[in-house]
Amino acid sequence: MTTTTERENAPDAAPEAAAPEAAQDDAAPAPAATPRRRLRRVLSDARSAAGEAVGAGLVHAWARLAPVVGVVSPFGWAVLVLAAAAWWAGLVLRWQESTIVAVTTTVALLGAVVFVLGRLRYTVVLDVASRRVVVGDRAVGRLVVRNDSSRTMLPAVMELQVGQGIASFPLPRLRPEGEHEELFAVPTHRRAVIPIGPVRSVRADPLGMLRRELTWTEPEELFVHPRTLPLSGSSTGLLHDLEGRVTPDISDSDVSFHALRDYVPGDDRRHIHWKSTARTGQLMVRQFEETRRSRLAVILSTREEDYADPDEFELAVSACGSLGLQAIREDGGLAVLVPQGRVRGDHRTRLLDDLTRLELAPARRSLAEIARVASATVTDASVVVLAVGSTVSPTDLRAAAVRLPVDARLVAMRCSPGSSVSRGRVADMQVLTLGELADLPNALRRTND
């Protein structure tokens, strides 16, 4: 019986004993999965590192090969491809003609290598006599090349970039410590900023298959300033003196005496007029006319629509520069505004440099909008000059005038080369027509009549 009972109870106990084993079997894969994930992570990192190493190697290799590859001209690449094809046809297809072409092109390529090999040791000096000239003035410079090596340098060519063009100077064979000097002139027919340089040495074979260039200097800028005209103090239309410009506004404290009035509590006792007080028996104080320091604001339009041709714009820039230089000489306030922003007017050189960089551009804003922005920028201007071209209509000038400061003297300068000097008026703005720069003093004197 006991044996039977044990047999009958054995199946019931077996599952209980097997449960922990099943639990162990289910939990067993979990610890084994972690090493696999680590292995995959390590392999992924290794592949990434290998890819980065290969990429860095390719970049380094290209950095070394780029100067060599850059020496070969397009014609040289064509000759190289022809030589490879000729060698293949001669060796594989047994074509004797191809073999002759292959030998010829190979000899030509090897000969071209001889022309560009060698280490160059030059000292190159680029000297421009003056980096700032006026339109029409002579701008000259010199290029000095010295051989600093202990061996003789073969002939080469020095190329100097001037603006959009390139000037070439043949360089003869130079002995050790030998020098070669070249003089050059830069055309200055129009206002511009002309980049001069860099200077490059060029060594090439006679057939032009290989061309080796080395840069020796950094580029420099040559400023061709606009023409300007000296103006007398009375010609600029500026009213300036020690006290400033008297205005119709009344002030309780200033320099220019206006009248007397009764004392009001809060008035400054320093302005009590005691003689009048003793005569009338009541306190009297002085009133003054408000004075302001003269400040010139020049608004130069750079809109293509405002000018019939580039000559009108050049005349407007020259007139603007003449007015600005006179204001700087007289130590008066100056603000020069263009649609792109503000031109520096604190020094004559900076003013002319900024004016030299100006170029015509398509209109993004109307002339009235430009005047509104300028009016908000310069609120204390006593004289405002608007420089435009001949295509600006009186309607446009009227729209600009109503947006300029009401207490400032407004002058519009229409630049039209070949026209005679004339004066008109649009709203509160005087309109002067300027035919050439020499008419500017006469035109400004008319504004004071």
Tell me the domain boundaries of the chain. 64-116, 122-225, 245-292, 295-447
What whole-number distance in Å separates Cα of residue 61 and Cα of residue 223?
42
Measuring CA to CA, which residue among 141, 159, 147 is closest to residue 198?
Answer: 159
With b meaning 16 or more CB within 10 Å and e meaning fewer, what string describes 113-130? eebbeeeeebebebebee
Residues 6 or more apart in contact with residue 1 via CB below 8 angstroms: none
pLDDT at residue 62 tops 80: no
Contact between 238 and 294 under an 8 Å Cβ cutoff? The reply is yes
**Separation between Cα atoms, residue 440 and residue 443, nearest integer Å:** 5
Query: What pLDDT is attached to residue 6?
Result: 39
Instruction: Give the pair of three-digit tokens for residue 17.
Output: 């004993």
**CA of 16: how far to CAs of 5, 13, 142, 308, in Å?**
17, 5, 105, 105
pLDDT, tens digit, 9 for 90 and up, residues 378-423: 887 888 999 999 999 999 999 999 999 888 889 999 999 998 888 8
pLDDT in tens, 123-150: 999 999 999 999 999 899 999 999 988 8
Residue 442 token pair = 């006469």
**Tokens at residue 434, please?**
């300027």
Q: How much of the chain exceeds pLDDT 90, in percent?
A: 42
CATH code of the domain made up of 122-225: 2.60.40.10
Matching fold, domains 122-225 and 295-447: no
**Taking 50 as the threshold, does the pLDDT of residue 300 lie above it?**
yes
The pLDDT of residue 346: 85
SS3 168: strand
Note the pTM of the prediction, 2 decimals: 0.69
- Identify the weakest region by mean pLDDT among 79-93, 173-187, 213-227, 281-295: 281-295
**What is the side-by-side order of every strand in the sheet holding 122-128?**
122-128, 139-147, 179-186
CATH number of 295-447: 3.40.50.410
CA distance 139 to 132: 9
pLDDT exceeds 70 at position 268: yes
E strand spans, 77-191: 122-128, 132-134, 139-147, 156-162, 165-171, 179-186
Give the residue with greater pLDDT, 392 vs 267.
Answer: 392
Q: Could you tell me where the DSSP H helices lie in 207-295?
A: 274-280
Q: What CA–CA distance (Å, rounded) separates 307 from 366?
A: 14
Residue (of 298, 392, 305, 410) closest to 354 by Cα position: 298
- Mean of the per-residue pLDDT values of the chain: 81
Quick one: the chain helix, strand, coil %, rounded to 5? Answer: 40, 30, 30
Nearest to 377 by CA among 411, 410, 338: 338
Contacts of 337 (CB under 8 A, 6+ apart): 297, 298, 299, 300, 343, 373, 374, 377, 378
On whether the CB atoms of residues 167 and 180 are closer than 8 A, the answer is no
Helix axes 348-357, 310-329, angle to 10 degrees: 170
SS3 state at 282: coil
Per-residue confidence at 186, pLDDT binned at 50, 70, 90? Answer: very high
| φ/ψ (deg, to 5) at 172 | -75, 180
Q: How far is CA 353 from the centre of its chain?
A: 12
Give the mean model confidence (pLDDT) for residues 173-182.
92
* pLDDT, mean of residues 81-99: 91
pLDDT of residue 55: 67
Q: Residue 224: beta bridge partners?
A: 133, 192
Residues 421-441 pLDDT 10s: 888 888 889 999 999 999 898
Angle (nearest 5°) at CA 104 between 79 and 112? 60
What is the 8-class DSSP label of residue 121? -
CA distances from 425 to 101, 158, 213, 300, 436 (A): 82, 59, 62, 19, 20
- Band of pLDDT at residue 61, cut at 50, 70 and 90: low
